[in-house]
Amino acid sequence: QRLKAAVHYTVGCLCQDVAEEQELQFSKQTIAAISEITFRQCENFAKDLEMFARHAKRSTVTLEDVKLLARRSRSLLKYITQRSEEIVSSNMEQKERKKKKSSTAKTAEQEAAVVESEDSNMA
């Protein structure tokens, strides 16, 4: 019920934005109808994604399942593909930074250990 209310609120905000841009108005009934259609479509998407994963003998929905769902809308599929590539490259960059930080930290620890052992040898 809260999810349905959130969808209704978001659809209302989007309709308001479009109304301002296009200089028109949406009736409350229209917003309610768009909200209901949107909610039902999301339910269908969720069921389809679950079935795609189950068909592949997985319990987790993957990006490939989402792409399969979006296959009929070329613009949506293109958008999802671009965003996923951006996320993958961003994750790779973060991993590289972590590797550099950890290798720098290890080098610093090793240098500190060498200095410590030299100090103890001199004493």
Instruction: Indicate the Cα dihedral angle 41, 45, 48, 49, nearest 10°.
Output: -170
Residue 23 Ramachandran class (φ > 0 left, ψ -120 to 50 alpha, else beta)? left
Range of the domain at 41: 1-60
Q: Are residues 47 and 82 in the same domain?
A: no
Same domain, 89 and 56: no
Q: Is residue 119 part of a domain?
A: no
pTM value? Answer: 0.66
- Domain-ending residue, one of 38, 60, 82: 60
If asked whether residues 5 and 55 sit together in one domain, one would say yes
Number of domains in the chain: 2
The enclosing domain of 45 has a CATH number of 1.10.20.10
Please write the tens of the pLDDT for every residue from 61-107. 999 999 999 999 999 999 999 999 999 999 888 888 877 777 666 66
Let me know if residue 116 belongs to a domain.
no
The verdict on residue 120 lying in a domain is: no
Tokens representing 43 are 């339910």
